[in-house]
Chain A
Amino acid sequence: MTMVLRGMLAGLILWCGLALGLFGAAQAADGEIVIGAPVSLTGPLAADGQEQRWAYELAVKDINEAGGIFIKEAGKKLPVRLVVAGAIVAEKYKKFYMMTTCFPFMWSPQNFKWSALFFFTAPSAAEVPFKIWNDLPEADRPKNPALLSEDTPDGHGFGEGFRAFAKQYGYTFAVDEPWAVGAKDYSANILKMKANNVDALLIFGSPSDSITLVRQMKELGLSVKYLHGWKGTWTGEFAEALGSDSDYVISDGFWSQDFPFTGSKELGECYTAEFHKPSVTIGAFYANAQVLFRAIERVGTTDSAAVRDAVVGGEYKDTVVGDLQFNDAGLALIESTANQWWEKQQMLFYPPVDGGWQVKMMKPWGER
């Protein structure tokens, strides 16, 4: 899962403790709270980084508009300043690092002392399509599903998860192929799926490869009833690049503006108003900031150890990703979402919400 980790890892480092430690109360009295955010702003991961930065900047703007965060030592609320940084040095300098969008199986073995994390586990994400299929009417359940997983450590990791759950839920992949990264030509995969009468497809690949695959599926006349993608189908560019051909395609996500949690809808609308596309990630980043800010306010200090202790084992209710209960290791679990593209909107249908979207089976290309 290296790529996913690198691509999605998002966090906020609380730097102000260092400033206070060095400069004392005078610094705190007229100071500010400085939060570092290691974000990829250049290179292939910059697309993720831009959403992270946007969400963090909005969270900082919102908290500053509310007057900042009350710090006991300063005797007043202090404004927050965000520094978009490029390195993770929290453990070395004993600065608290609030994280999200990192798989727990990569984070937990590190036994970090200065970080806390909320995200879903990779196995729980891999189980989602099978839970969805089980809830479908019998006639709609896939008979010949296929799996294309990117030929990378991420793809292999997720592929193993999908295979394990397929077995558990009683499905057999008619085609199970590694997916060549950036190859641009997936006609061989598509012809193989056509020849095997594949009716549902799970894909784990980059946005560019996912767009290419769907285009070529249409060109070569491969219609499936269910197409669920991870990593590559959730970006706004996916729907932008495919237009109405993206309808029915299902994407993963970390969050949804359809969540019934306070501020979710407004956050999504704010993002869409600015970028003219939906996002299924920004809520996680925004909630990351929410937890950190609330923790600072809860302890009334920017001392990293105190803030860490407030998060680890703590409960944070009503964030934009819902209630977060951190365990003694500093881990809180959320659920991976499934969203169906419809007219360039991401419609949340898993986990189900009251009155929410009902998943639609894909129509053959010729009938759209």
Chain B
Amino acid sequence: MLDILSVRLVVEIFINGVLFGAMYGVAAVGLSLIFGTMRIIFIAQGTIIVLAAYVVYWLFNTFGLDPYLSLVVVAPLAFATGATTYRFLFRKAAAMADKNTSLLIAVGLMFLVQNVISFVWTPNPKSIITSYTAVGFEVFGSRISVTRSISLVIALAATAAVVLFLRRTLVGKAVRAASENMQAAMLMGIDPHRVNAIAFAIGFALAGAAGVALATTYPFDPYYGFSFALKALIALALGGIGNVVGALLGGILLGLIESFSSFFISAGWADAIAYAVFLLVLMFRPEGLFATSFKKA
């Protein structure tokens, strides 16, 4: 192995890890927000991302809408869908002390969406071909994917927007307050259903952004969402549950772990190593690796 190793190769492994990890990160940010107020792991997040990818695919094939331009349609649509989903599916369950009901609803929603996608678009993998599909460019001798680079930009921009929203707006501060202590927030007059609905809406909008990134970069099928959600969950744990910036960094860290372990050990071990790190972090630093570096957004 060492005879083929070079600085350029290590840099390429690093870059690819960061680019791919950003995808996990943006999904984890959505999970983080919903967990913050609802106190559930929204396991359907990955499937919502896949659904958004199918909408992008449909807009592209039906109206010829460029996948990146479709963000202006998909993100607001996902936002509205998130709020509606909360209103009709989770509102009653959210008021219950037992969070298992909400979790079960999320599981049911995941399978429902999977099967609806499979019925509407068939279970065959889909992908979008544009002029920038599978195109790479060179930076100091390292090949970098165009679409994955744009995905990184989307992830950073989406996370920054969420952080700004949470820190700079009154509604965002209410969401943060509810995330810190729902009882205290309610005593201050914050409507728990409103903040839950906003968290869901933003979580779905982030799924919309991730869906655009997914659709432009990878082929997708109805069943990919679950494994994606599991990876986002690892990213969330690495970054610190409830920590928005940490979730993005957790995703990038997971991407790096997978990338380096795939190269230096074996691709077959990458998942095992990722889950082992997940457990180790939960065992020894359950608040996440970035808890002290970043205040809760």
Q: Is chain B a partner of chain A in the same complex?
A: yes
Contacts of A243 in B (CB 8 A): 129
CB-based contact B118/A182 at 8 Å: no
Q: Do residues A185 and B122 form an inter-chain contact, with CB atoms below 8 A?
A: no
The closest CB in chain B to the CB of A48 belongs to: B123
- Is B290 at the interface (CB under 8 A from chain A)? no
Max chain A C-beta neighbours (<10 A), residue from B13, B125, B262, B268: B125
What's the A-B contact tally at a CB cutoff of 8 Å?
133
Q: How far is the CA of A302 from the CA of B262 in the complex (A)?
A: 56
Interface flags for B113-125 (1: CB within 8 Å of A; 0: not) read: 0010010001111
Residues of A within 8 A of B263 (CB): 188, 191-192
Distance from A363 Cβ to chain B, minimum over Cβ atoms (Å): 15
Interchain CA distance A195-B264 in the complex, whole Å = 13
Given the known A-B contacts A42-B115, A188-B16, A208-B220, are A180 and B267 also in contact in the complex, defined by CB atoms under 8 Å?
A: yes
A101 contacts chain B at the CB level, 8 A cutoff: no
- Whether A94 is near chain B, meaning CB under 8 Å from some CB there, is no
Whole-angstrom distance from the CB of B116 to the nearest CB of chain A? 11
A332 vs B215: C-alpha distance in the bound complex, in angstroms? 43
The chain A residue sitting closest to B138, CB to CB, is A221
Nearest chain A CB to B270's CB is how many angstroms away?
6
Main secondary structure of the interface of A (DSSP, over half): helix
- Scoring A45, A195, A219 by chain B CB atoms within 10 A of each residue's CB, the highest score goes to A219
- Residue of B5, B17, B124, B146 touching A47 (CB-CB under 8 A): B124
Establish whether residues A215 and B133, one from each chain, have CB atoms under 8 Å apart when the complex forms: yes
B13 and A219 contact, CB distance less than 8 A:
no
Q: A177-B268, A180-B270, A208-B221 are in contact. Are A191 and B13 (CB under 8 A)?
A: yes
Q: What separation, in Å, do the CA atoms of A315 and B123 have in the docked complex?
A: 37
Q: Interface code B241-273, partner A: CB below 8 Å = 1, 0 otherwise?
A: 000000000000001001110110011101100
Which residues 7-41 of B sit at the A interface, judged by CB distance below 8 A?
9, 12-13, 16-17, 20, 23
Residues of A within 8 A of B135 (CB): 218-219
* Cα–Cα, bound, A178→B271 (Å): 12
Note all chain B residues with C-beta closer than 8 A to A50.
122
Judge whether B134 and A241 touch: CB under 8 Å.
no
Question: Are B259 and A187 closer than 8 Å at their CB atoms?
Answer: yes
What bracket does the count of chain B residues touching chain A fall in?
Answer: 35 or more
Which of the four size classes fits the interface of chain A? Answer: 35 or more
Partner of B118, one of A46, A179, A237: A46
- Counting CB contacts under 8 A, is A196 at the interface? yes
Select one of B13, B127, B270 contacting A183, CB under 8 A: B270
**A360 CB to nearest B CB, Å:** 20
1/0 per position for A298-328, CB-CB distance to B under 8 A?
0000000000000000000000000000000
Measured between beta carbons, the chain A residues less than 8 angstroms from B17 are 187
- In the complex, whether A129 has a CB less than 8 A from a CB of chain B is no
Residues of chain B within 8 A of A241, CB atoms compared: 125-127, 129, 219
On chain A, the residues within 8 Å of B258 by CB distance are 183, 185, 188
Give the chain A neighbours of B227 by CB distance below 8 A. Answer: 182
Judged by a CB distance under 8 angstroms, whether A189 is at the interface is yes
In the complex, the answer to whether A219 meets B136 with C-beta atoms within 8 Å is yes
A208 to B220, alpha carbons, bound, how many Å? 7
A sample of 30 cross-chain residue pairs with beta-carbon separation below 8 angstroms, ordered by A number, consists of A45-B123, A46-B122, A47-B123, A47-B124, A179-B268, A180-B270, A184-B23, A184-B224, A185-B255, A185-B259, A187-B20, A188-B16, A189-B267, A191-B13, A191-B16, A191-B263, A192-B4, A195-B9, A208-B219, A215-B127, A215-B218, A218-B136, A219-B135, A219-B145, A219-B147, A220-B12, A236-B124, A241-B126, A241-B127, A245-B134
3 A-B pairs with least C-beta separation: A178-B268, A188-B262, A187-B16
Q: B-contacting residues of A (Cβ < 8 Å)?
A: 42-47, 50, 151, 177-180, 182-189, 191-192, 195-196, 207-208, 211-212, 215-216, 218-221, 235-237, 240-243, 245
Binding site for A on B (CB under 8 A): 4-5, 9, 12-13, 16-17, 20, 23, 115, 118, 122-127, 129, 133-136, 143, 145-148, 218-221, 223-224, 227, 255, 258-260, 262-263, 266-268, 270-271
